[in-house]
Structure 1
Amino acid sequence: MTGNANTNLPKKVDVAIVGAGPVGMTIANFLGARGVSTLVLEQRKELIDYPRGVGMDDECLRSFQALGLADEIAANTTPDQKMRFVTAQGRTLASIEPKTRVFGWPRRNSFIQPMVDAILHAGLDRFDSVTTVMEAEVTAFDDQGDAVFVDVSRRGVTDRVEARWLVGCDGGRSIVRKSLGIGFEGVTDSTRWVVIDLHDDPIGRPGSYLHCVPERPFVSIALPHGKRRVEFMVFDKEKEEALCSQEGVRKLLSRVMPRPKDARVMRSRVYTHNARLARRFQKGRVFIAGDAAHLMPVWQGQGYNSGIRDATNLSWKLAMVARGEASEALLDSYDRERRDHAKAMIDLSVTAGKIFSPTSKTVSWLRDRLGLLMNAIPPVKRYFVEMRFKPMPRYHDGVIMKTTHDKVEGNATGKMFPQPGVFDTAGVRRRLDDILGLDIAILSWGNDPQLFLKPDECARWSKLGTRFFAVVPNTQHRSFQGNILPGTEILGDADGALHEWFADQGGDGSIVFLRPDRFVAGIANPQDIGRVSAALLNAFHAAR
């Protein structure tokens, strides 16, 4: 339900979320799908209607797939968006154009954020357990140890809501983070940029181009539905009022098109890059996520995606604890798993900005020579083209299998599991996650994993909502003669991708434990599954 300042607030909920941006709404959609009572509080009257993020990756779309919204969202994206760094002479320094679908979606996509936000917002109406209230400002909160009491002001009247947990998704100036006294470490770049969004794309060239021009570096990005974004560096003495005036916008656009006066400008604004990371993402029963927890320059388009990673990581844990499937100790893993990767993405974005935007002609010349040289070396070129430089999330702590020496056990453990096409029990080809759902999953290659678990172990996993799958070659999908116990589903490996993945694991095992966010919690050989199962039940803090 979506309400306004006149809507009655629930007195008590499991989770209160501050901020109806993409991160807050993603968490709310996930919790709603799990039946967790959730209240979303947004101080604005309406969702923000101007474009902000314009880059979405495959991990992000996979998260939206889990919410049942990915196909609708994908209709508002441009897939396989190339990114090219171009010299002032028009030569390509580096081209990023990955074609992989390893996680089930294109790795790079452009999108228009208000359209996606609207889909996330409408998605909340599917759930009776979720209430969204606009024009509701959180003025204070009090974590009393067993609950958080949240003061909500609406048109001068303050109500108090009791929540088991509070999540601050309220942006870079987060009131929640500041109220917790959590430091926001990092730097604010002195360089400013003016962003201009255009209707009826007057340039038309697909892809994203970072023009490394020392006189004034600029960016040109093709967006879905005939939109275009261009961004120009702002110099010290330039004023926003002049740059964003009709004359100022036309002068800037004259660098990228012959008739700037004919361009249909949606909006223009100046912004400053930040590289900041909260010292911690949790304090007691209160969490922060998205821009409230980290800010990063836009050059790799990872600010939005990192926020959705936060939402995905935190929401399944909140759901398991709220539903009584796990103890509250599970929630402590959120900070340990997410903070290091957010820092890695900040560092990557800062480095990309330094490569792109020097205004010294000497430094630019040296960069261009080195870049062109590296681009001529095939392995180096592939490194950029296939986007191998992007730090993929790999958890070294948290809800994963570890050795007695506190090391990650298994090469795939802590990494995201691939999402190939599979055939379900009815013989219909589907994406893997559409079959696995939102629960923990145990997949075994060529066998039923339940055959190797003791009955009490199966019962404990089933209590967590775990689903069991036997993955077989597609040739055996309809005729498999092995033993299959009740409760295990057979999946056909449509294109051989899962056969290849399990073969690559070598001696690590053939039975994989997947978390709800589709990261590998652990892998085991059939006759060693009891040891791994026991350790992972502890890692999930499974209720007894």
Structure 2
Amino acid sequence: MTTTTPDIQPAVQYATQVAILGAGPVGLMMANYLGQMGVDVLLIEKLDKLIDYPRAIGIDDEALRTVQSVGLIEKVLPHTTPWHAMRFLTPKGRCFADIQPMTDEFGWSRRNAFIQPQVDEILFAGLQRFPNVRWLFSREVEAFSQQHDRVMLNLKGPDGERETVRAGWMVACDGGASQVRHTLNIPFEGKTAPDKWIVIDIANDPLGMPHIYMCCDPVRPYVSAALPHGVRRFEFMVMPGETEAQLSEPQAMRQLLSKVLPDPDRIELIRQRVYTHNARLAERFRVDRILLAGDAAHIMPVWQGQGYNSGMRDAFNLAWKLALVVNGKAGDKLLDTYQQERRDHARAMIDLSVTAGHVLAPPKRWMGTVRDALSWALNYFPPVKRYFLEMRFKPMPQYQSGALVADKNAKNSPVGKMFIQPKVTLEGAETLLLDDVIGAGFAVIAWGSNPLWGLSEQQIARWRSVGTRFIQVVPEVQIHAAQDNAEGVVRVGDTQGRLKAWFAGYPASIVVLRPDRFVAATAIPQTLGKTMEALSATMALKTHAADVSVEKVA
């Protein structure tokens, strides 16, 4: 007698160097950067398409610089409104704080309005440039595990089919309710705010006024924000006992909008949604071959627009490090510097966002009275007032340790801070932003001198192998003096005089930039060789060709 076994459909198998969970802005940015660095990427999303409901509306200069790094800035800018001021109003309409940071030290306006789904679409479309990047939508992660050299994932497809993924590394960008973080038992420290807010997006802006207004009404605080393409966003605090269903009813919606519009019936509603504000931070950002980024690592209230931007900082900080490790150019100890650098700043941004929320909606009524009195008093102290209105209170990232060589002798060292991005002039007379000259890798930038002078041939070869560009900056009037040229060095003219001013502020004439544009080290020509050796060690760069082996996943 012959027996037969029913056919069992084998699971579809995928192999990749990096698996990214979540096709939100952080996952999309990670995939774009890794894609341009030649890394094999598989992007996995549980939904069937990108999210299109209202989310972030503020993108800052650091995030735009990140977009610039993957070559998509010209497509994103038309969907932004630069120089977007934030104005705090008393219940009677008096503006007590008009925050207008007018600096463009990083190449872009510090505060910009945008509509997140439009930019997410551009980031997703950008992945089509890279044959080494693939994506899977409508996938549920049923289980995952990791070994010393791989991460294994079990997926369920849209029709219930089984799929397996073998990856060298996994980056979890799967949101505030991260399944990966829960499974790894990583504590998510912090709290959920008791307040909820309803967000209402309206087409053909019925107010038309620019900027964003935060009305500190003790009865029901609200926000009114002008967005690109004629969209107006209103946000109202949800009062105790109210539900999203109740507030979505026509009469309730009309009552809310009557606070801000003379004719609340004459609107073109796009959508509305209720949000809860959380302030939480993961205890760890890395567990062996799995890393957390974006909301999976930290979530914060929206009041400073830093949830989105903090996630983009994560993406830029982690992506270049992961690319070096996967491409066999650095040891995986480099990835430990990701949490070392990002976690403290994420905490600072959470604290800032919570404080801004208390300014808008104080927990106690008397706090609002004190706030209004202090706002009047600031008029008599112009320097203090400028400190707030120019947004100097915003905690800028400065890494004290990590993938850098700290200058312990300098009281005001630029090491660990983001470098400026002025305009520079090339020898062919073309004017560009500095990052467009540097490209996607490292840079050694020297004021006036040859940046190769203090390095050995072996050091030059090693740093070129990780994508380093050597740049000599001269006053713009000297850019056409051919006798100053050095082979293998890019010469640029200091178009705006900002680079000269930057170098004049520190006892160094050479700066080493990481791919994320943070200062990794400073030096003078005589100390550059020693500094680069120290930086190579702290970044765990492979020192010999024999040490370099690209991670492949069979």
The letter for the 1-side match of 2:374 is L
Match of 2:97 among 73, 82, 94: 94
- Structure 1 unmatched ranges of 5 or more: 1-7
CA change 1:328–1:408 in 2 (3 A) is farther
Say which SS state the counterpart of residue 259 (structure 1) adopts: coil
**Whole-Å Cα distance in 1 between the matches of residues 57 and 188 of structure 2?**
25
Do 2:186 and 2:284's aligned partners in 1 also have CA atoms closer than 8 Å?
Answer: yes
Q: Deviations over 1:189-215 (max 9, x none)?
A: 001111111111111111011001111
Query: Which residue number corresponds to residue 416 of structure 2?
Result: 414
The letter for the 2-side match of 1:499 is K
CA change 1:359–1:320 in 2 (3 A) is closer
Do 1:472 and 1:490's aligned partners in 2 also have CA atoms closer than 8 Å?
Answer: yes
**Residue 140 (structure 1) shift:** 1.2
Match of 1:330 among 320, 329, 334: 334
Q: Deviations over 1:317-348 (max 9, x none)?
A: 11111111111111111110110000000000
Number of equivalences: 532
Do 1:87 and 1:212's aligned partners in 2 also have CA atoms closer than 8 Å?
Answer: yes
Do 1:409 and 1:522's aligned partners in 2 also have CA atoms closer than 8 Å?
Answer: no
Report matched runs for 1:106-505 at 5 Å: 106-154=109-157, 155-358=159-362, 360-402=364-406, 411-482=413-484, 484-505=485-506
**Residue 363 (structure 1) shift:** 2.6
**Whole-Å Cα distance in 2 between the matches of residues 103 and 476 of structure 1?**
24
The letter for the 1-side match of 2:269 is V
Pairing 1:529–2:528 present: yes
Pairing 1:47–2:46 present: no
Say which SS state the counterpart of residue 450 (structure 1) adopts: coil
Query: Which residue number corresponds to residue 3 of structure 1?
Result: none
Query: Which residue number corresponds to residue 17 of structure 1?
Result: 20
Say which SS state the counterpart of residue 297 (structure 1) adopts: coil
Greater mean deviation of Cα atoms: 448-457 or 198-207: 448-457
Q: Deviations over 1:283-306 (max 9, x none)?
A: 000001001111100000000000
Task: Give the structure-1-normalised TM-score.
Answer: 0.96
Say which SS state the counterpart of residue 453 (structure 2) adopts: helix
The letter for the 1-side match of 2:279 is A
Say which SS state the counterpart of residue 20 (structure 2) adopts: strand
Say which SS state the counterpart of residue 260 (structure 1) adopts: coil
Do 2:20 and 2:172's aligned partners in 1 also have CA atoms closer than 8 Å?
Answer: yes
**Whole-Å Cα distance in 2 between the matches of residues 114 and 317 of structure 1?**
27
Do 1:422 and 1:429's aligned partners in 2 also have CA atoms closer than 8 Å?
Answer: yes
**Whole-Å Cα distance in 2 between the matches of residues 410 and 441 of structure 1?**
22
**Whole-Å Cα distance in 2 between the matches of residues 66 and 463 of structure 1?**
19
- Which contiguous aligned blocks of 4+ residues in structure 1 show a shift greater than 4 angstroms? 407-410
Q: Deviations over 1:448-503 (max 9, x none)?
A: 11011122211221222211111111000011533x43211101111111011011
**Residue 98 (structure 1) shift:** 0.9
Q: Deviations over 1:117-161 (max 9, x none)?
A: 100010000000000111112111111111101111102122111
The letter for the 2-side match of 1:170 is D
**Whole-Å Cα distance in 1 between the matches of residues 465 and 206 of structure 2?**
57
Greater mean deviation of Cα atoms: 85-94 or 362-371: 362-371
Do 1:401 and 1:409's aligned partners in 2 also have CA atoms closer than 8 Å?
Answer: no
The letter for the 2-side match of 1:356 is L
Do 2:14 and 2:164's aligned partners in 1 also have CA atoms closer than 8 Å?
Answer: yes
**Whole-Å Cα distance in 2 between the matches of residues 359 and 236 of structure 1?**
14
Query: Which residue number corresponds to residue 550 of structure 2?
Result: none
The letter for the 1-side match of 2:426 is D
Query: Which residue number corresponds to residue 29 of structure 2?
Result: 26
Do 2:13 and 2:164's aligned partners in 1 also have CA atoms closer than 8 Å?
Answer: no
Do 1:402 and 1:409's aligned partners in 2 also have CA atoms closer than 8 Å?
Answer: no
**Whole-Å Cα distance in 1 between the matches of residues 364 and 349 of structure 2?**
26
Task: Give the structure-2-normalised TM-score.
Answer: 0.94
**Whole-Å Cα distance in 1 between the matches of residues 57 and 412 of structure 2?**
36
Do 2:106 and 2:419's aligned partners in 1 also have CA atoms closer than 8 Å?
Answer: yes
Do 2:331 and 2:542's aligned partners in 1 also have CA atoms closer than 8 Å?
Answer: yes
- RMSD of Structure 2 on Structure 1 (CA): 1.4
Do 2:16 and 2:168's aligned partners in 1 also have CA atoms closer than 8 Å?
Answer: yes
Greater mean deviation of Cα atoms: 407-416 or 468-477: 407-416
The letter for the 2-side match of 1:299 is W
Identity %: 50
The letter for the 2-side match of 1:541 is A
Query: Which residue number corresponds to residue 70 of structure 2?
Result: 67
Say which SS state the counterpart of residue 512 (structure 2) adopts: strand
**Residue 358 (structure 1) shift:** 2.2
- Structure 2 unmatched ranges of 5 or more: 1-10, 544-554
Query: Which residue number corresponds to residue 5 of structure 1?
Result: none
The letter for the 2-side match of 1:147 is R
Greater mean deviation of Cα atoms: 524-533 or 413-422: 524-533
CA change 1:101–1:244 in 2 (3 A) is same
**Residue 408 (structure 1) shift:** 8.1
**Whole-Å Cα distance in 1 between the matches of residues 65 and 224 of structure 2?**
27
